[in-house]
Amino acid sequence: METKSRDFWVGVFVILAIAMAMLFFWLMGSFSFVQSNPQYFLRFSFAGGVEVGSPVRVSGVKVGRVEKIDFLSGVEGMDRTAIEVTISVARKALAVIHEDSRFFVNIAGIIGERYIEISPGSVESPVLPPGSRIRAVDPPRIDQLLSQGYGVFGRVQEFLEQNEKSVTSFLNQLARVMDDTAKVLEKSDRKKIGQVIDNLSQITSDLRFMTEKIRGPQGEEFFDRLMVLIERAHEIDKPTLKKFFQEEGIRARVF
């Protein structure tokens, strides 16, 4: 009887351990007791640190997870080796994922986990059917930006080290020019500076008045008459004009 009782309790503990493990995996999203969620297949050139199990969010709300990551070669429209990320999305979120939705890698905070973000798209666009293959937006290569930045800063530092005297002399001269300019402004007559500013303001006011007059009815009438005069001048026969000056002449009196 003691052996049977011991075996009974061992079996109970094993069943409880299995149940707790299944509950743990279900809470972590690695196991599902119900039918699997619909899937989409995203293709990246660079996955940006996304891993299997990374969350999938729509407008910041978690709706799924990354199920699988595969490497593809010879994908049309992609120069490098493609990375296909399979994601599962809850059925409740399918209605807000449209054909013009954008799929990209986002990061929670500055150094947080990577996840797949889905922007819903426009309401006018049809709903994206499950099983679709989408060209996702590649995340920026932070490592390349940092390496390029280090290279640029290194060249700048090298330039400064090689031309330290010239740079120092230039900065000193610039400081002297700024000091001299400040002294000139301090010694200048502030009333004269104010008069210059007033004159400039008056000139801009006059220009504004002239432009308003030109844009008014009188200005339009003036330009219309000027255009008529120019058109008539083009119609003058050059031989006739030459004959007039030669035969008739021009009488002039000087007072």
Helix (H) or strand (E) holding 64: strand 61-72
Determine whether 58 is exposed, middle or buried from the number of CB atoms within 10 Å of its CB (0-12, 13-18, 19+).
Answer: buried
pLDDT of 56 higher than 80? yes
Which two tokens mark 134? 């989408």
Average pLDDT of the segment spanning 78-98: 86
Residue with more model confidence, 194 or 204: 204
The DSSP bridge pattern shows strands 55-58 and 61-72 to be antiparallel
Confidence of residue 7 (pLDDT cuts 50, 70, 90): low
- The Cα diameter of the chain in Å comes to 150
Confidence of residue 209 (pLDDT cuts 50, 70, 90): confident
Which two tokens mark 85? 């990320």
Q: Which residues contact 81 (CB under 8 A, 6 or more apart)?
A: 71, 72, 73
* Terminal C-alpha separation, the chain: 150
Q: Which of 28-32, 128-132, 207-211 has the highest mean pLDDT?
A: 128-132
Average pLDDT of the segment spanning 117-121: 89
pLDDT of 241 higher than 70? no
For residue 142, the model assigns a pLDDT of: 63
Cα–Cα distance for residue pair 206/228, rounded to 1 Å: 29
Average pLDDT of the segment spanning 5-25: 77
Confidence of residue 19 (pLDDT cuts 50, 70, 90): confident
> Half-sphere exposure of residue 14, counting CA atoms within 13 Å on the CB side?
6
CA dist list (Å): 162 to 149, 150, 159, 168, 173: 20, 18, 5, 12, 19
Q: Counting every residue, how long is the chain?
A: 255
Amino acid found at 80: R
Confidence of residue 27 (pLDDT cuts 50, 70, 90): low
Q: Which sequence spans correspond to the domains of the chain? A: 1-33, 39-140, 146-187
Alpha helices by DSSP H, listed for 163-189, are 164-187
DSSP reduced 3-state for 35: coil
Average pLDDT of the segment spanning 32-45: 77
For residue 150, the model assigns a pLDDT of: 62
pLDDT of 41 higher than 80? yes
**Torsions phi, psi of 118, nearest 5?**
-115, 120
Average pLDDT over all residues of the chain: 76
